[in-house]
């Protein structure tokens, strides 16, 4: 028995979309043949976030739930291991570049025959307890990122991570161009 039964549906979607293969295809392989694959880290983070996890330590809930891991066939790295992996991917923006490629592949697979989408962009405050955070217009020391969603499906096209003291509407046209580049070929942003 597991109290996280709702995550089984998400794990099934990951399997049906062959998301693990897409992730492993686009993320750099670790140097060891004994190391965990990138999909193990990403899938653990996705499951944890859908459970309501807010920090790396919350991934232990996935690790401790043997029934969930058995049903989903999901390994669960420790928060420390995930942190080390994320820091390694932060060098030269490897992780962001790989995530963009994987997201483009996923969008192509899920948008089917859709040729035109409506882009919805909005700022999202990211609460962080880091030394380099700046004051946002909401009066918090955080980050402020722009997020581009497909209005029809809610899927994220692209993000632009900004310091908290940068106005969310700074260079909206540039962000729209980033979103256009992130879409698979043949899919365009509707002009209204």
By C-alpha distance, which of 160, 150, 132 is closest to 187?
A: 150
Cβ–Cβ < 8 Å for 162, 145:
yes
Length of the chain (residues): 192
Task: Report which secondary-structure segment, H or E, holds 22.
Answer: helix 19-26
Q: Which two tokens stand for residue 180?
A: 């256009």
- 133-185 pLDDT, tens digit per residue, is 777 777 777 877 889 999 988 899 999 888 777 777 888 899 999 999 999 99
Helix axes 19-26, 94-110, angle to 10 degrees: 140
The reply to whether the predicted model has a pTM over 0.95 is no
Helix axes 79-90, 94-110, angle to 10 degrees: 100
Cβ–Cβ < 8 Å for 157, 119:
yes
Give the Cβ contact number of residue 45 at 10 Å. 19
- 14-29 pLDDT, tens digit per residue, is 888 888 999 999 998 7
Q: In this predicted structure, what is the pLDDT of residue 168? A: 76
Contacts of 69 (CB under 8 A, 6+ apart): 62, 63, 75, 76
- 81-96 pLDDT, tens digit per residue, is 999 999 888 888 888 8
By C-alpha distance, which of 28, 42, 31 is closest to 97?
A: 28
Q: Given the DSSP bridges, would you call strands 134-135 and 141-150 parallel, antiparallel or unpaired? A: antiparallel
By C-alpha distance, which of 111, 140, 101, 122 is closest to 22?
A: 101
């Amino acid at each position: 028995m597991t109290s996280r039964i709702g995550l089984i549906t998400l794990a099934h979607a990951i399997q049906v979309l062959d998301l693990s293969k897409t992730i492993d295809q686009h993320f750099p392989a670790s140097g060891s043949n004994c190391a965990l694959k990138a999909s193990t880290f990403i899938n653990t983070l996705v499951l944890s976030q859908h459970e309501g996890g807010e920090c790396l330590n919350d991934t232990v809930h996935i690790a401790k739930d043997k029934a969930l891991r058995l049903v989903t066939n999901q390994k669960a790295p420790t928060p420390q291991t995930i942190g080390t992996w994320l820091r390694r991917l932060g060098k030269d923006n490897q992780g962001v570049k790989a995530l963009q490629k994987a997201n483009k592949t996923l969008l192509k697979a899920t948008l089917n025959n859709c040729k035109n989408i409506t882009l919805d962009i909005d700022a999202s405050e990211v609460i962080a307890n880091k030394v380099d955070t700046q004051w946002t217009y909401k009066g918090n020391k955080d980050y402020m990122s722009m997020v581009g969603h497909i209005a029809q499906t809610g899927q994220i096209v692209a993000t632009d991570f900004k310091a908290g003291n940068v106005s969310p509407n700074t260079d909206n046209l540039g962000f729209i161009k980033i979103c256009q580049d992130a879409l698979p070929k043949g899919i365009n942003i509707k002009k209204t």
